[in-house]
Amino acid sequence: MTPTPALPATDRSHGPRRWWALAAFLAAVTLTAAVGVLGVSGTADEYATLDQPSWAPPSWLFGPVWTLLYALIAIAGWLVVTTVAFLRVRRNAGLLLVPYLAWVTFAAALNYTIRQLNT
């Protein structure tokens, strides 16, 4: 593995636009999360009635996990966009998406197992 080269000084100092870009990513992710919350409102009772595997997390855990994942997605997107402007993609942005990949893999296995137990 080759280390990610340090960003040039011009990358770090292009002013408030960089922070506005982060704010835009956070706003977009917050909006997406809000739509997701609306889509699943009222499903906690139904989820509780399903047969679940022993390794299924409690329903209260999904909110904090998705909040963290959405924040990491926003930061990763911001890092990529602000860096692509200087013709580079940052390895750190990809690393921030590893928890998302792990969670989506876990969620897919959980959904499959719950479906198998309830059909």
pLDDT digits (tens, 9 = 90+) for 48-98: 888 999 999 888 888 899 889 888 888 888 887 776 554 455 677 777 778
> By percentage, how much of the chain surpasses pLDDT 90?
6
Helices and strands counted in the chain (H then E): 6, 0
Amino acid in the structure at residue 76: A
In a domain, 85, yes or no: yes
Copy the structure tokens of residue 48.
Answer: 């509780």
The distance in angstroms from the start CA to the end CA of the chain is 46
Q: Which of 65, 33, 42, 106 is nearest to 114 (CA)?
A: 106
pLDDT for 89: 59
Q: Which of 30, 32, 23 is nearest to 78 (CA)?
A: 23
In a domain, 118, yes or no: yes
Q: What is the average per-residue pLDDT within 7-13?
A: 48
Distances (CA, A) of 19 to 4, 33, 36, 69: 22, 21, 26, 20
In a domain, 44, yes or no: no
Domains of the chain: total: 1
Q: Which domain holds residue 84?
A: 61-119
C-alpha span between 80 and 93 (Å, rounded):
6
